[in-house]
């Protein structure tokens, strides 16, 4: 009888050990969730995070707390996310520079292949723009002028090996023209340089330039296959015979490497619901972005493809961080 009681007790203990973790996972989340944004508060990426955070919190039944960890072109925030406790209460925004560009140019504090992708959140198209003072009004006119006077047109960027730098470099390579790079210390001074005519051209994410159209900045083309809703009359590079000039910034949600799959799956499902809400889609569209949800595998493959593309551009252009 005593042996039978001990055996029964043992089975109960084992059952409890099996059931408790399962219940803990299905109960997730039971407290607020931190979302690390690798850029400063108030910037375009921060605005994307804050566009989804309230509804995502409602969907999950917990508050989403934005934690801005900026610096090193997004590397600090991505590193903090990857190395956080994988308990399901820390996620982060994956930013393209820290995943697809910088790993080709410097030693990273994390292994890119170990990034735990959850879902894409938004695609931000890049546009090619001319300063108010530049006497071109179309991309064809810009290319013709650059071919007629090689090396006389310059373009501004947020710094060496940033997306604006590589976007203009890709245009140069695909169109067979020579443009002079002027590296600024950040996107804001580069836009100021464009407005003042210090540089004639800039390739940048649409949100960075959209507000300055009213001040004379001329958007010549969208760098991709699709026109954007906010600028329906602006042609794409694909329409203009340059399908290889395809540049967009892809922002999504990543998680610490060992976060349980059941948790990342639940987060991904919640994101899909939120990103299909008309109010959220409209809020993201107003920023010049396109709300987009994906599976983890789709997000991973997209980043791998982008990494391969930029590696080729960097090599051909002999681009470094110096």
Longest dimension (CA), the chain: 99
Q: Residue 124 pairs with which residues in a beta bridge?
A: 249
Q: Is the pLDDT of residue 5 over 60?
A: no
Average pLDDT (293-317) is: 96
88 vs 71: CA distance, rounded Å:
24
- Find, among 182, 80, 83, the residue nearest to 131 by Cα: 182
Residue 43: per-residue pLDDT: 85
What average pLDDT does the segment 219-230 reach? 93
Q: What angle do CA 241, 159, 316 make, to 5 degrees?
A: 50
Give Cα 162 distance to the centre of its chain: 13
Query: In sequence order, which residues have a C-beta less than 8 Å from that of residue 214 and are 6 or more positions away?
Result: none
CB 50 within 8 A of CB 66: yes
Q: How far is CA 178 from the centre of its chain?
A: 28
Of 194, 184, 187, 188, which Cα lies nearest the Cα of 216? Answer: 194
Instruction: Please state, in angstroms and rounded to a whole number, the distance separating the CA atoms of residues 175 and 146.
Output: 10
Distance CA 237, CA 306 (A): 18
Residue with the bigger pLDDT between 144 and 6: it is: 144
* Environment class of 70 (CB within 10 Å of its CB; exposed 0-12, middle 13-18, buried 19+): middle
Average pLDDT over residues 4-23: 43
pLDDT in tens, 121-171: 999 999 999 999 999 999 999 999 999 999 999 999 988 888 999 999 999
- CA–CA distance, 56 with 275 (Å, rounded to integer): 9
Nearest CA-CA partner of 194 in 128, 288, 289, 97 = 128
Per-residue pLDDT tens for 101-131? Answer: 999 999 999 999 989 999 999 999 999 999 9
Q: Residue 183: pLDDT above 50? A: yes
In the chain, what are the helix, strand and coil shares in percent, each to the nearest 5? 45, 20, 35
- Strand, coil or helix: 29: coil
Q: Which residues contact 272 (CB under 8 A, 6 or more apart)?
A: 119, 293
Please identify which residue in the block is written with the tokens 């399901």. 88
C-alpha span between 40 and 47 (Å, rounded): 10
Please state the pTM of the whole predicted model. 0.86
The pLDDT value given to residue 185: 86
Give the chain's domains with CATH numbers. Answer: 31-123+248-316 (3.40.190.150), 125-247 (3.40.190.10)
The pLDDT of 286-307, averaged and rounded, is 95
What b-and-e string marks burial along 189-224, b requiring 16 or more CB atoms within 10 Å of the CB? ebbebbbeebbbbbbbbbbbbbebeeeebbbbbbbb
Neighbouring C-beta atoms of residue 166, cutoff 10 Å: 24
Q: Which has the minimum average pLDDT: 2-6, 193-197, 226-230, 299-303?
A: 2-6
Q: What is the pLDDT of residue 8?
A: 45
Please provide residue 186's backbone torsions phi and psi, each rounded to the nearest 5 degrees: 120, 160
CB 310, CB 166: distance < 8 Å: yes
Cα separation, 233 vs 189, whole angstroms: 28
pLDDT, residue 20, reads 38
Chain-centroid distance, C-alpha 321: 20
Using pLDDT thresholds of 50, 70 and 90, give the confidence band for residue 279: very high
What is the per-residue pLDDT for 84? 97
> Could you read off the pLDDT of 228-271 as tens digits, one per residue?
989 999 999 999 999 999 999 999 999 999 999 999 999 999 99
Report residue 78 as tokens: 């991505």
Cα gap 265→258, rounded to integer Å: 13
Q: Are 132 and 139 in contact (CB under 8 A)?
A: no
């Amino acid at each position: 009888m005593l042996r039978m009681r001990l055996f029964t007790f043992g089975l109960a203990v084992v059952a409890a050990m099996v059931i408790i973790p399962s219940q803990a996972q299905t109960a997730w989340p039971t407290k607020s969730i931190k979302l690390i944004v690798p850029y400063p508060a108030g910037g375009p990426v921060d605005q994307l995070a804050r566009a989804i955070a309230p509804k995502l919190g409602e969907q999950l039944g917990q508050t989403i707390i934005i934690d801005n960890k900026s610096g090193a072109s997004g590397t600090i925030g991505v590193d903090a996310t990857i190395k956080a406790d994988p308990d399901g209460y820390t996620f982060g925004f994956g930013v393209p520079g820290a995943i697809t560009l910088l790993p080709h140019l410097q030693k990273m504090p994390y292994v890119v292949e170990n990034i735990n992708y959850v879902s894409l959140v938004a695609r931000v198209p890049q546009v090619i723009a001319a300063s108010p003072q530049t006497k071109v009004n179309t991309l064809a006119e810009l290319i013709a002028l650059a071919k007629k006077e090689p090396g006389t047109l310059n373009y501004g960027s947020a710094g060496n090996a940033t997306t604006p730098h590589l976007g203009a470099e890709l245009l140069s390579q695909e169109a067979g023209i020579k443009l002079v790079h002027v590296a600024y210390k950040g996107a804001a001074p580069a836009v100021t340089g464009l407005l003042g005519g210090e540089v004639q051209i800039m390739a940048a994410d649409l949100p960075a330039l959209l507000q300055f159209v009213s001040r004379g900045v001329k958007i010549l083309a969208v760098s991709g296959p699709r026109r954007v809703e906010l600028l329906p009359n602006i042609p794409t590079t694909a329409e203009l015979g340059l399908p290889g000039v395809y540049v967009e910034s892809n922002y999504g949600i990543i998680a610490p490497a060992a976060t349980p799959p059941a948790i990342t799956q639940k987060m991904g499902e919640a994101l899909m619901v939120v990103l299909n809400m008309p109010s959220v889609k409209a809020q993201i569209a107003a920023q010049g972005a396109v709300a987009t949800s994906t599976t983890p595998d789709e997000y991973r493959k997209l980043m791998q493809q982008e990494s391969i593309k930029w590696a080729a551009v960097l090599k051909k252009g002999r681009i470094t961080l110096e």
